Amino acid sequence: MRVFNRVKASRKILIAAVALTTTAGLSIVASSGSAVASTSKKIGGSVSIWAEWTSTEQQDFKAVLQPFEDSTGITVHYTGKGSNMDTALDAAVAGGSPPAVALVPDPGTLNTLAKKHAIQPLASVIGNEAKNYGSAWTSLATYKKKLYGVWFKGANKNTVYYNPAVFAAAGITSTPTTWTALLADEKTIANGGTYAPVSLCTDIGWPVADLFQNLFVKLNGAAAYNQLAAHTMKWSNSDVTNTFAEMAALVGTGGSNLLGGMKGALADGSFPSCVTGVFPSSGSPTAAMVFEADFVTTSVPSKYTPGSGKSCTLSATASPCYDTFNFPAPSASAYAGDIQGSGDVAMLLKSSRQSKALIKYLASPSAASIWANLGGFVSPNKKVPLGAYPDTVARADAKALTSAKAFVFSLDDLQVGWEPQLWADMLNVLQDPSASNVTTVEALMDKQATTALGH
Partner 1 sequence: MTVVSKVASVRERRVVALAKRLRVSKAAVNVILALVAVFWLVPTISLLVISLRPESLFGASGWWTVFTAPSQLTWGNYATIFSQGFASGGVLDSLVTSLEITVPVTILVAMISSLAAYSLVFGSWRGRDIIFLVIVGLMVVPLQVALIPVVQLYREMGTLFGLNPYGTIPGVIIFHVAFGLPFGIFLMRNFLTGIPRDLLEAGRIEGAGEWKIFYRIVLPLALPAIASLAIFQFIWVWNDLLVALVFLGGNVHTPLTIFLYDQTRSLAANYWIVSTGAVVSIFVPLIVFFSFQRYFVRGVLAGAVK
Partner 2 sequence: MTSIAAEGPRVAAPRGSHRRGWWRRNWVSLAFLAPGIIWLLAIVVYPTIATIRFSVYDETATKFVGLHNFASVFSTDAILTAFKNNIIWVLVFPFFVTFIGLMVAVLTERIRWATAFKTIIVMPIVFSTTASALVWRTIFDLDPHIGVVNAIEQTVSDWFATPGAYPLNSSIGQSAASLASFNATGGPGGTLVTKSLVHPGGTVMMGLTRVSAVTLQTLGATTPVAPKKMAGGIAGLVWNDFSPLQTSNTTTIVSDEHGLPNLRLSLVSSTGSSVGSTVTNSSGNFSFTHVAQGSYHVEILGSNFQTAFVGTFWLGSQSVTPTSGLDQTAQSLLSVPLIDLAMIISYIWIWAGFAMVLIGAGLASLNREVLEAAEIDGATEWQTLRRVTIPMLAPVLTVVFVTMVINVLKVFDIILNMAPGSSQGPATTLALSIYNDGFTGGIHSGLASAIAVILFLLVVPAMLWNLKKIKG
Interface with partner 1 (CB under 8 A): 1-4, 6, 50, 54-55, 79-84, 87-88, 91-92, 94-97, 99, 268, 270, 272-273, 276, 281-283
Q: DSSP secondary-structure letter at 103?
A: E
- Candidates 29, 248, 416, 453; binder of partner 2 (CB under 8 A) is 416
Alpha-carbon distance 265 to 340, whole Å? 23
Alpha-carbon distance 254 to 182, whole Å? 18
CB of residue 92 to partner 2, shortest distance in Å: 11
* Other beta carbons less than 10 A from residue 159's beta carbon: 27
CB of residue 282 to partner 1, shortest distance in Å: 4
Give whichever of 214 and 299 is closer to partner 1, judged by the CB atom.
299
Spatial neighbors of 237 by CB under 8 A, at least 6 apart, are: 228
Spatial neighbors of 202 by CB under 8 A, at least 6 apart, are: 208, 265, 266, 269, 270, 274, 427, 430
| 73 backbone φψ class: left, alpha, beta (φ>0; ψ -120 to 50) | left
Asked whether position 114 contacts partner 2 by CB under 8 A, the answer is no
Spatial neighbors of 301 by CB under 8 A, at least 6 apart, are: 279, 280, 281, 316
Asked whether position 256 contacts partner 2 by CB under 8 A, the answer is yes
| Window of 126-134, 218-226, 367-375, 413-421 that interacts with partner 2 by CB under 8 A | 413-421
Alpha-carbon distance 76 to 409, whole Å? 29
CB of residue 258 to partner 2, shortest distance in Å: 7
Q: Binding marks (x or -) toward partner 2, 420..449, rule CB under 8 A?
A: xx-xx--x------------xx--x-----
Give whichever of 47 and 251 is closer to partner 2, judged by the CB atom.
251
- The secondary structure of 239-260 as a DSSP string is HHHHHHHHHHHHH-GGGTTBTT
Give whichever of 119 and 247 is closer to partner 1, judged by the CB atom.
119
**Burial annotation 55-90 (CB, 10 A radius, 16+ → b, else e):** bbbbbbbbbbbebbbebbebebebebbeeebbebbe
Give whichever of 24 and 452 is closer to partner 2, judged by the CB atom.
452
| Window of 217-225, 260-268, 349-357, 389-397 that interacts with partner 2 by CB under 8 A | 260-268
Site for partner 2 in 79-98 (CB under 8 A): 86-87, 90-91, 94
CB of residue 137 to partner 1, shortest distance in Å: 27
Instruction: Report the partner that residue 3 touches, choosing among partner 1, partner 2, none (CB closer than 5 to 8 A by kind).
Output: partner 1
CB of residue 193 to partner 2, shortest distance in Å: 4
Asked whether position 254 contacts partner 2 by CB under 8 A, the answer is yes
Give whichever of 87 and 317 is closer to partner 2, judged by the CB atom.
87
159 three-class SS: strand
Give whichever of 159 and 415 is closer to partner 2, judged by the CB atom.
415
Alpha-carbon distance 398 to 401, whole Å? 5
Asked whether position 266 contacts partner 2 by CB under 8 A, the answer is yes
Give whichever of 54 and 381 is closer to partner 1, judged by the CB atom.
54
Task: State the burial class of residue 37 (Cβ atoms within 10 Å of its Cβ: 0-12, 13-18, 19+).
Answer: exposed
CB of residue 256 to partner 2, shortest distance in Å: 4
Spatial neighbors of 224 by CB under 8 A, at least 6 apart, are: 216, 233, 239
Half-sphere exposure of 396 (CA within 13 A, CB side): 16
- Candidates 36, 114, 118, 190; binder of partner 2 (CB under 8 A) is 190
